[in-house]
Structures are given as structure tokens and as C-alpha cells.
Amino acid sequence: MVNQELSDSLFRKFSELIYETTGINIHEGKKPLLQARLSKRLRATGIKSFEEYYRYVTSPQNFAEFINFIDAISTNLTYFFREEQHFIFLEEIALPEILQRKEKEHDRRIRMWSAACSTGEEPYSIAMCVLEYLEKRPVKPPWDFKILATDISTRVLRVAIRGVYPEERVQKVPLVLRQKYFEKITQDDETVYQVTKPLKDVVVFRRLNLKDPYPFKGSFEVIFCRNVMIYFDKPTQQDIITRMSYYLSPGGYLFVGHSESLAGLKHDLIYVRPAVYRKKG
């Protein structure tokens, strides 16, 4: 049982490590939270002290535990169709605009990015929204639609790739979509909902630290980067927004969380409405 206090000096060391590697800013007020998350890793590894764990996790040969450490300090709160206004906007404004432009360009490729996708509810929600829209407007050849979904945490990505959710997690999914895109199954004597193949086929999950270089070749018509910028300081926010804007197609849309804004950051995006921005062009 871990029953010790995280010293101020060691707290600063862990905070600096987290900031340098992820850009996440752990301020003094989050010391109890960090201590609780670290205590879980000490129990899991059998390491006896925070100081010993710091030495262990910063050793290059222990990279696997470093990933577990990052997983432990990442905050992952999400649910299906979170901030519903974004999906209404996507269906009523963004998609018609994007598809009209693509038709003129004779381009059938649609790419979207769910950055910080957590356990998959966001990209699967985007996928349902877009697939429903495209199904009502069939074209030949059909649209080539894919979503890239990324997160820094391997733990949440495993959940997302598996695509199995307890009953309470799918309550916000409209019944017609739940029946169409989820299969009701029994697992460990509990009723759970498994994402069906048509939905899984359009979402590709990858691990990505938003602070690292982005390994993309093409651009995206839509980027969702919601409720993650609040964990970064201004310089890191500026770097991320600059790079995201670069990978956004002209006329493409960036969605941020409703508790976030790009105020004070330099960018070439046009404010459309709260938490929605559009790239010029």
C-alpha cells in the first residue's frame, strides 16, 4: 500500500517531464490528482517510492512503463454526440458545403480527423452523422470517406478499437442509430453494445502525441480537436493550432470544445460561431 507524500521538488520533476513530452500543463493545484495517479502506477509495478518510480520511468529501456505513466495522467471524459450542436452544424452547414465543393472538383475523397479521440465515442459519432448524410444522397462513384482518430493513450485506443460499450454509454445515441450501428450482445452476463462493421470500416485509430510531428501526407476537410487544448499552455496551443491549420483543407472546418477558443492565438482561420472555425479559401 502506497502511503507517502509527493514532495514539491518531485512534483515539479514529474510536471516538467509531462510538459516536455506531451505539452500538458500540470499546475500546482493538480498535485493531489498527480499523486493519486502515480500511486496507482506504484501499486501496479511494485515500486516502493515516487523517487524510484521517477528514475524508472525516465530510463530509456522502460519506455513501455512510460506509456503507462502517460496513460495514467491523461484525462479521458467523453460520450457519444458530446456537444450536439457540432453534429447539427456538421450535417446542416459543413457537409453540404464540403460536398458541393468536392463535386465541382470531381473529388470523391473526404477525410476527417478526430484528435484526442479518447475511447472512440467522438469519431464513431462523426462517422454515424456523415454516413447517414451520405446514404440519403447516393452518388456514383461513391464517396471515399475515412476518419483518422488519434490519442496519446494506448489504453483508451484499445477500448476504441474494440468498440464495445456498456448500455449506459450508448444512451445518448438516437434509437434508430443505435439499432443500425450497434449490435446488442451479452458479455460477462451483462448487456453491451458492439460497434458494427460499417462504422468500424470508416474509422482508423492511431496513437499520436499532438506535440510530436504529424505523419500526414494529405489534408482534412474537418478536424475535431475538442476539450484538449485546455490542458496546454499558450505556446503549445499556438504550435498545435498552427500545424492543424496547415493540414486543414481550404474551406475546411475546425471544431474545438465549447469551453475553448482561439483567442490570443495567431492563425488563418475564420471564426464562424462559438467553437467552430473555418479555413480561408
- For 8-73, CATH number out of 2.60.40.10, 3.40.630.30, 1.10.155.10, 1.10.606.20 equals 1.10.155.10
Question: % helix / strand / coil in the chain, to the nearest 5?
Answer: 45, 20, 30
* pLDDT for res 21: 82
Summary count for the chain: helices (H), strands (E): 11, 10
DSSP state of 277: E
* pLDDT for res 76: 64
* pLDDT for res 1: 47
The residues with which 224 forms a beta bridge, in sequence order, are 114, 255
| 92 CB-near residues (< 8 Å, 6+ apart) | none
| 7 CB-near residues (< 8 Å, 6+ apart) | 50
- Residues annotated as catalytic (active site), given as ranges: 37, 151
Per residue of the chain (281 residues), give pLDDT as tens: 456 789 999 999 999 998 888 878 888 888 998 999 899 999 999 999 999 999 999 998 888 898 888 888 876 668 899 999 999 999 999 999 999 999 999 999 999 999 999 999 999 999 999 999 999 998 999 999 999 999 998 989 999 999 999 998 898 899 999 999 999 998 888 899 999 999 999 999 999 999 999 999 899 999 999 988 888 889 999 999 999 999 999 999 999 998 888 989 999 999 999 999 999 97
Overall CATH class of domain 84-162+197-279: alpha beta
Q: Please state the domain extents for the chain.
A: 8-73, 84-162+197-279
